[in-house]
Amino acid sequence: MSIEDPQYCGYVALVGRPNVGKSTLLNNLLGQKISITSRKPQTTRHRITGIDTRDQYQSIFVDTPGIHQTQTNAMNRYMNRAAASTIADVDVTVFIVDRLVWNEEDELVVKSLANARSPIILAINKVDRIVEKNRLLPHIQTLATKFSWADILPISAKNGYNVDALRAAINKRLPEKPHFYDEDQITDRSERFMAAELIREKLMRQCGDELPYQVAVEIEEYKLVNNIVHIHALIWVERDGQKKIIIGKSGEQIKSIGTDARKDIEIMTDQKVMLKLWVKVKSSWSDDERMLKSLGFEE
C-alpha cells in the first residue's frame, strides 16, 4: 500500500434478534474470538467492538445485544438501548436472520432500522443447517419485499460460507476516511472485561438451561505478578438455588467452569493465569440500576 492510496474506514453494526449468530459472525470476520457465544439467547449484553484492518479497508464492527420484545428488567432495557443507539451511529448495518425463519422479533428489528441512515445488508445466517435448500431462493424473494436492502447474502458464520462476499459488500460501502485505529488493534475492550466475558460464556454454556439469565461476573482483582495473571472474580446470582447449580455437587461444576475459562484467558493474554471464582447472591441485581452501573452497564 502506498501513501497515496485512499483509505476507507467506518463503523459496521451487527444487529438482529437474539441467537441468530451475530457474535459468531463477528468472530469469523475477525478470525479471532472477541465476542462470547452460546446456544442460549441473550448471550451478548454489551456493545463489543472488533476492528478488522485489511489493506485500505478498516471496518470497526460493533456486535450488539439481540433486540428482544420482553423488557422485564433494567438490564434488558439497557440491552435494547445499546443495540438501538448503535444503529443510529454507524456507516453500514448488517441485519442478521436465522435460516428460513422470519418472526415478530425480526419485524421489531426492522422497525428499529427505519431511522437508520446507513445502507442495510441482509445476511441470512446458518444456511449450513437448512435441510430443504430449495426453499432458500423463494425465502430470499419474500424477504426482498420487506425493506430496501443494500444487498442480500446467504451466509454461514460458523463455517465461513460467503463471509468474504459479505466483507466485500461491506467494504464497498465504507466512507473514504483515514483509519481510526492502528492496524494491529483488534478491540477497544480491556483484557479485564474480556476475562469477565469468558467466565460468563462458560457459565452460559455449562450450566445449560437450568441457569437463568440473572448471572453476572465482576472482576475484583486482575494483576500480573511474576509473569502470572492473578484474577479474582465474583459470580453474582439472584437466588440460593442458582448458587447451588453453579457450585455443583462437591464443587465440581464451578471447578470445571474455572478450568475452561482459565484456558481461554491464557490464550487471550498469552500468559499463565491463576483464576479464583466466588459465587455471591444478591436478589434482583439485574433490576438494580446502581448494581448494573458497577457491573459496567453504562451508556
Ligand X SMILES: Nc1nc2c(ncn2[C@@H]2O[C@H](COP(=O)(O)OP(=O)(O)OP(=O)(O)O)[C@@H](O)[C@H]2O)c(=O)[nH]1
State the residues that interact with ligand X by CB under 6 A: 16, 18-24, 37-39, 41-44, 65-66, 125-126, 128-129, 156-158
Output 43 or 187, the one with its CB closest to Mg ion: 43
User: Hey, is 158 helix, strand or coil?
Assistant: coil
- Positive or negative, the CA dihedral 49, 66, 96, 203 is positive
- Residue 43 or 59: the one with the smaller Cβ distance to Mg ion is 43
Q: Which does 214 bind (CB under 5 to 8 A by kind): ligand X, Mg ion, none?
A: none
Using DSSP's 3-state secondary structure scheme, residue 42 falls into coil
Helices (H), 96-216: 104-113, 136-144, 163-171, 191-206
Pairing of strands 228-237, 272-281: parallel
Instruction: Look at the block and give the residue holding cell 439467547.
Output: 41
156 interacts with, out of ligand X, Mg ion, none, CB within 5 to 8 A per kind: ligand X
CB of 224 to ligand X, least distance (A): 30
Q: Shortest gap between Cβ of 184 and ligand X (angstroms)?
A: 25
Based on C-alpha coordinates, what's the Rg of the chain? Answer: 20
Q: Which residue lies nearer to Mg ion by CB, 9 or 48?
A: 48
Q: Is 64 in the site for Mg ion (CB under 5 A)?
A: no
Rounded distance, CA 192 to CA 27, Å?
A: 19
User: To the nearest whole angstrom, how small is the minimum distance from the Cβ of residue 98 to ligand X?
Assistant: 8
- Mark 32-51 with x for binding to Mg ion (rule: CB under 5 A) and - for no binding: -----------xx-------
- Measured N-to-C along each axis, helices 191-206 and 252-269 cross at an angle, to the nearest 10 degrees, of 140
From ligand X, Mg ion, none, which one binds at residue 28 (CB under 5 to 8 Å depending on kind)?
A: none
Q: Are strands 228-237 and 216-225 parallel, antiparallel or unpaired?
A: antiparallel
Q: How far is the CB of 254 from ligand X (least distance, A)?
A: 23
Nearest-CB residue to ligand X? 66
The residues of the shown chain that bind Mg ion, judged by CB under 5 A, are 22-23, 43-44
